A and B are shown apart, each in its own frame.
Chain A
């Protein structure tokens, strides 16, 4: 170890976004733990307040500041660290580090880059350097020509020949990349790519080749290991983040496996990585020919997956290597006796499946390809491929029951669907098999290796067998076991054997469950031990499988009572790292209270699935069946369902009915809050108001109801055909259009219509109650008016602009609700406030998205408190009042629209942000400025384009427009906006709409980057916006120009940067507030 390193700066990755998500919380947390273990003082910069790494337990000092060269320099100047780790915060940290290296900041402050040298990183990031570097050691890369303008791109295409792939250098997760097969396609792609990067690559297309990755580690003594290899189910052409991936590789011979392994080591040595790197290959399916596609000289999504797939903590080890250790000097974290200098041997197969949320966006294409659109992923572990993939498909959490057994999943044009994959690809394959497509035919259309397809056929064949049986007694124990070995769930079996319909499937699956239990067909618990049982494991990193005859752990051990905490599953829009923080804190508390802490979760990006976070980690499904399997074995003292978001919450009643003890608030109460009718009745009883609503089953009734309450209304269908699940409609035409296009209305699928209150403030309370009495709470307000989903809203805590009276009434209502529902544990309520008229719009008896934010701003861990009360501990009410804070926390959403081609970047009642940040400020303006800068906004330096929509928002923005002019900004405005500003005495240059061939034109301002900030407010609340406005918004996103589409937020941001300069922003760590 390098002893002179006493203080180390770690850069985080900021808000979660597509291509850069929870995996970096895991990597960073591991690195910080590794440093702490060595007695090194750590400084973390990460504005993502919901992460586990931004906890006192993990990092020494935490700055909730943007990870940008400016702020990092300020922190370096203040903290004077000896070293910096750049490899643990994704591309964000890496790019920032490279910038600081290039501009001499690291040198100036004498900060040593630990681990892989910056030059090595730059060698892998710049495509030309990279290709040349590998050519030096005769390693093949795809024929590729780097160009810096469109005409050179066309010339390069002539030289290589179509089809081609275009890649942007220095881009996150394949942003700006794509395939093209003509000059026109190339031109369009290249133009766009040049908005992200100065250099693009025109490359030979290797579509259809196998895609294989290796995770490689090297220490300063030149010792190298490959920790894991992974094979993509989808061949090259689909981004690895969009692919189903298995580990280890399945279709590679020893010779292929080790040829690529040897190359990986050759590459890591030549580049000079110290730490971890990832090498991606294309492998010819008809020979041993290969190309190196990419090398990432940092921790990555794949390295997080590889760590979880093998039990080898790559980030932890990489951090130790950065401190100067040799691999052979470190211990295997699982066995604790053998060395870390080894390559894990797996005795199971893992399957990673991406989670998409494309339905949340308007206009986005469902095709998957060379750039990443998925928002999360799951990892399933099994001892057959079939078991692993069926588990995984259930884990995705979009109502699927496995590879087969999903209703209403038929596709019309199968050939096209197979050849041009969408997010439904795997189910298209199932449908094709169902309809008699042969493996060969599917292979021809998809280029997926026959081995995978044959395995999938096994599932379909067995299903066909089961369908014939008709009742459980006809299915032999052997057949039933075979089905379980192939990953069939009780639900699937009920559907096939009992032909259970939707209404009675619950009974059906219990019937199957009891039948198989009677036959002794039960899953077994196996350990992930890194050495395939060669040495005993000291950790309980577990999964369940039916390919087994014994458990690896002793359930007779009754030294402690198990307390199970259910995790949050795949990250998706609406549920991500915040619930990981909650579950990790719940586990800590459970452990501290003397219980055996047990976690069930399957998301490889999380800290909660790190095996050293709890006593027993079941990396398995959060389905009723699997949770019951585990409960049967653990015989726990109780189950905590309120920390992992909606997935565990939905299990509460079902587990309760099986006699499982649910900790905290009773499942009946949870149901009373979840069930719209019951909740409404309760509110009526305690005289609490809520927006008028009705559940309706036909179009006529809908019109009648709307006629009574008036537009706009919020429409929530229970069965969605396509597009958004809910919408606000402002007139009859929109209502009919929406119902026709998006929803199915019937007795079986009712629609909920509610009154939509405009210009109302939205206020939330996060609280902890004990036996119906609130003991701690945090009230926060949204910057945006109601109508923007609370997950997309900018949140202020403590609230700065609400009446005391409002606060008092919200507290009172919350107390009443807590009392009536006898809440013990966390809950969250959302309110509308207009002229002191308070209405309840939402109530969840579980931890909420904002729990980590308010906990960290308050410096009071509400989750720890909630867990204690759920465990039955009596807690003293903290005597801290929110109004005592002399600083302000601002939480801002992070959007990933730039990843989602064609998506309209507007905000609505359905959530579309992928992440968030939370920053602290002396006042609201400083807080919001930090937060906005943290999610990628910058203070404009050039011009600003305003297009401020309806009259109301035009008025809203008058003061801020005036402030901009006073500050010396040049304003451009579309016609109506310009006229409105003029009448208010504000000068703006009028510009034409994009579809007008008149100069100056709004679109040109964007494409030529004459403006560096765009405000475009949609005309109404419906999502069908005028083409011109859409073009402005979309172009701003495509050309990487900051865009705001909400008048209240735009106004707040503008006033913030008009009042404060960069130099006015305080560089203060969390503990300094």
Chain B
């Protein structure tokens, strides 16, 4: 067993759970959310959409395959979704101190320590999940050695500004130029786009892209309340009136909706998993998708020119929308997966096809 000591997880409702530390030893506060995926902790931890959140993994055995190498491909870390861990803290049931994998470079614990992120194991993560399911997402804090910290509600901050790229960066040399508005983009989105003969211009969330030349616009995923991204929404309001193809994922779906005049709301406990079923509206085609969102688009508020594209089969929430006539569509789920199922990767092809058609 590794070096452990007692550490507490405290919720805003006053409940407390004690476990053992396996990450960095410090106190943090944030919003506590759960993810039910059974694989993919390196991907989840580096997903910028988790900014400000303490992540509970419902799968109990974590750390089994360590953490992958820091190989770089196309200017991006090959095995991670961004350059660093974005979660504020990690809660698991059973941490594997020994890992085993051909591609492992180190342990999850070492990575957390190096990244100054606390980790707790020995917690009844199922009990936590049920609590969050019943009472909704809650603020919480990890308190180490009695060093209390203030509560922190990430949804009051513009988290996108914190995770977005600072300066424009260009990837690839393909013939289709994609303007990618980075609200906290996952690397795999860029990887998918680059596979399809594209040049990806990744720009900050508030970048005024209208001035630039591009063939298609992509709005990425990202953390927090979409309504915080006023600058992006303002840009999109203009962009959706044009002819250029637009594809949005997750926060991108919400931002496009807000730009189109629709409304978003906070879900009770969100969708964070690899097994969310969605159905393409008007068809019998269903897909299993990877998701990570706490906010959703209100289907009833979609404007006349817009229609839902996908619906969640479990709770009927919006999973995407499209413009009735123009080449604009978005999904609430993550077609780029990583982690999660790759069923909807074809949407990237559809986006590129739209671009080609429009050019």
Q: Mark A residues whose CB is within 8 Å of B.
A: 221-225, 248-255, 257-258, 261-262, 265, 285-287, 326-328, 337-339, 341-349, 383-385, 449-451, 454-455, 457-458, 485, 524, 526, 531-536, 547-550, 552
Contact = CB atoms under 8 A, between A and B. Distances in A.
Interface string B269-296: 0000111110100001111100000000
Indicate the member of A222, A286, A533 with the most B CB atoms within 10 Å. Answer: A533
B124 A533 contact: no
Interface string B22-41: 00000000000010111110
A190 to B, nearest CB: 35
Interface in B63-112: 64-65, 68, 79, 93-94, 96-103
B17 interface: yes
Interface in B313-359: 313-314, 337-343
B152 to A, nearest CB: 25
Contacts of A327: 286
19 contacts: A221-B284, A224-B343, A248-B38, A248-B59, A251-B65, A254-B39, A265-B343, A286-B102, A326-B284, A328-B284, A337-B314, A345-B58, A349-B60, A524-B124, A534-B36, A534-B129, A547-B94, A549-B17, A549-B124
Nearest to B273: A345
B40 A254 contact: yes
Contacts of B130: 533, 552
Contacts of A451: 64-65, 96, 98-100
A666 B92 CA distance: 47
Contact of A534 (B59, B124, B273): B273
B68 A384 contact: no
A257 B342 CA distance: 11
B288 to A, nearest CB: 5
Contacts of B263: none
Contact of A262 (B94, B314, B342): B342
B133 interface: yes
Contacts of B103: 253
A347 B39 CA distance: 12
B341 A258 contact: yes
B166 to A, nearest CB: 29
Closest 8 CB pairs of A and B: A254-B40, A454-B98, A254-B339, A451-B100, A532-B36, A345-B36, A532-B58, A533-B129
Contacts of A552: 126, 130
B234 interface: no
Nearest to B102: A286
Given A225-B288, A287-B102, 15 more contacts: A223-B286, A223-B287, A251-B65, A252-B39, A253-B68, A255-B338, A257-B40, A341-B277, A383-B93, A383-B94, A385-B61, A455-B96, A532-B126, A549-B17, A549-B124
B43 interface: yes
A285 B126 CA distance: 31
Contacts of A251: 64-65, 100-101
Interface in B230-274: 273-274
Q: Chain B contact residues (Cβ within 8 angstroms of A): what range?
A: 35 or more
A286 B101 CA distance: 8
Given A248-B38, A254-B339, A548 B126 contact: yes
Contact of B285 (A222, A253, A286, A550): A222
Indicate the member of A222, A346, A347, A552 with the most B CB atoms within 10 Å. Answer: A347
Contacts of A339: 277, 286, 313-314
Nearest to B96: A451
Given A343-B341, A534-B133, A253 B288 contact: no
A548 B127 contact: yes
B53 interface: no
B155 interface: no
B126 A328 contact: no
Nearest to A531: B36
Contact of A526 (B99, B126, B273, B288): B126
Given A261-B341, A534-B273, A345 B285 contact: no
A384 B60 contact: yes
A344 B60 contact: no
Contacts of B61: 250, 349, 384-385
A862 B130 CA distance: 44
Given A534-B133, A535-B133, A547 B58 contact: no
Contacts, number: 172
Contact of B275 (A343, A385, A450): A343
Given A225-B288, A338-B314, A532-B129, A346 B38 contact: yes
A253 B124 CA distance: 24
Given A221-B284, A326-B284, A253 B65 contact: yes
B299 interface: no
B137 interface: no
A821 B295 CA distance: 69
B49 interface: no
A533 B132 CA distance: 10
Given A223-B285, A343-B275, A383-B93, A533 B133 contact: yes
Nearest to A550: B127
Contact of B43 (A254, A261, A535): A254
B125 interface: yes
Given A254-B338, A548-B126, A383 B65 contact: no
Contact of B64 (A250, A347, A533, A534): A250
Contacts of B125: 347
A531 B42 CA distance: 22
Contacts of A221: 284-286
B275 A347 contact: no
A222 B284 CA distance: 9
A252 B99 CA distance: 11
B284 A346 contact: no
Given A383-B93, A533-B133, A534-B133, A347 B59 contact: yes
Nearest to A482: B1
A254 B37 CA distance: 10
Contacts of B98: 450-451, 454-455, 457
A458 B39 CA distance: 23
Nearest to B41: A254
Contacts of A345: 36-38, 58-59, 273-275
A534 B273 CA distance: 9
Contacts of B79: 255
B187 to A, nearest CB: 13
Contacts of B124: 524, 547-550
Contacts of B65: 251-253, 451
Interface in B163-191: none
A548 B129 CA distance: 12
A977 to B, nearest CB: 61
B102 to A, nearest CB: 5
A328 B38 contact: no
Contacts of A534: 34, 36, 58, 129, 133, 273
A1044 to B, nearest CB: 51
Contacts of B93: 383, 547
B59 A532 contact: yes
Nearest to A385: B61
A286 B100 CA distance: 11
Nearest to B58: A532
A328 B313 contact: yes
A222 B43 CA distance: 29
A458 B61 CA distance: 14
A257 B42 CA distance: 14
Contacts of B101: 251, 253
A1054 to B, nearest CB: 58
Indicate the member of B1, B99, B288, B340 with the most A CB atoms within 10 Å. Answer: B288
A611 B126 CA distance: 20
Contacts of A485: 94
A342 B277 contact: yes
B208 to A, nearest CB: 36
Indicate the member of B1, B64, B97, B130 with the most A CB atoms within 10 Å. Answer: B64
Contacts of B340: 254, 258
Contact of B126 (A248, A344, A347, A536): A347
